[in-house]
């Protein structure tokens, strides 16, 4: 009986030590992440980063790329995989809102078939420019998918939570309400 107790105690001590190591490891990673956010990238990594904004992103404020511009086409191309093709034809996006700044973009668009007969669920997306391509970072649920989630249903709460998950995304790209 005493033997089992000492095994249980040893097992408990190992479990506690492992938990302590895990918590310390997580704390170290968290501190390193926060320091990297506070200090920003080093000059050496900044020069060679694949996330460096291009000339359009170096603008002093958020902007809306002109229809037909290469920047706008690249952003819309990132959305295409999320909408099915009908009869092999590409979808057309009716852009209701689009803002770009410092390699980040927020878009609200209504996809439809080229002939206008088929419409799809609206897309509200946060994108990040990685190298020379735009990548969808988050898609806001739509069409009733937010009814049970107050953080999603309320736009102000949604954007506040989104900005906490992506603190690098400039506030200027998001809609003001």
Contact yes or no for 172/101 (Cβ under 8 A): yes
- pLDDT interval class at 146 (50, 70, 90): low
Q: Whole-angstrom Cα distance, residue 31 to residue 152? A: 29
- pLDDT interval class at 115 (50, 70, 90): confident
Residue 25, pLDDT score: 40
- Residue 78 main-chain phi, psi, to 5 deg: -65, -25
**In 85-133, which residue ranges form alpha helices assigned H by DSSP?**
none
- pLDDT interval class at 37 (50, 70, 90): very low
22: burial class by Cβ within 10 Å (0-12, 13-18, 19+)? exposed
Q: Whole-angstrom Cα distance, residue 71 to residue 77? A: 10
Contact yes or no for 149/155 (Cβ under 8 A): no
């Amino acid at each position: 009986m005493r033997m089992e107790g000492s095994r249980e105690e040893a097992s408990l001590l190992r479990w506690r030590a492992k938990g302590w190591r895990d918590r310390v490891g997580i704390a170290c990673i968290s501190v390193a992440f926060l320091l990297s956010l506070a200090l920003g990238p080093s000059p050496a990594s900044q020069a060679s980063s694949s996330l460096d904004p291009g000339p359009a992103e170096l603008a002093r404020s958020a902007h809306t790329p002109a229809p037909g511009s290469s920047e706008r086409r690249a952003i819309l191309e990132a959305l295409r995989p999320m909408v099915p093709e009908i009869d092999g034809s590409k979808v057309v996006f009716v852009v209701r809102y689009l803002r770009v700044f410092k390699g980040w973009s927020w878009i609200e668009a209504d996809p439809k078939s080229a002939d206008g007969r088929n419409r799809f669920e609206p897309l509200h997306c946060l994108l990040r420019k990685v190298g020379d391509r735009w990548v969808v970072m988050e898609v806001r649920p739509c069409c009733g998918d937010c009814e049970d989630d107050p953080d999603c249903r309320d736009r102000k709460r949604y954007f506040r939570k989104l900005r906490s998950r992506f603190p690098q995304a400039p506030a200027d790209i998001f809609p003001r309400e």
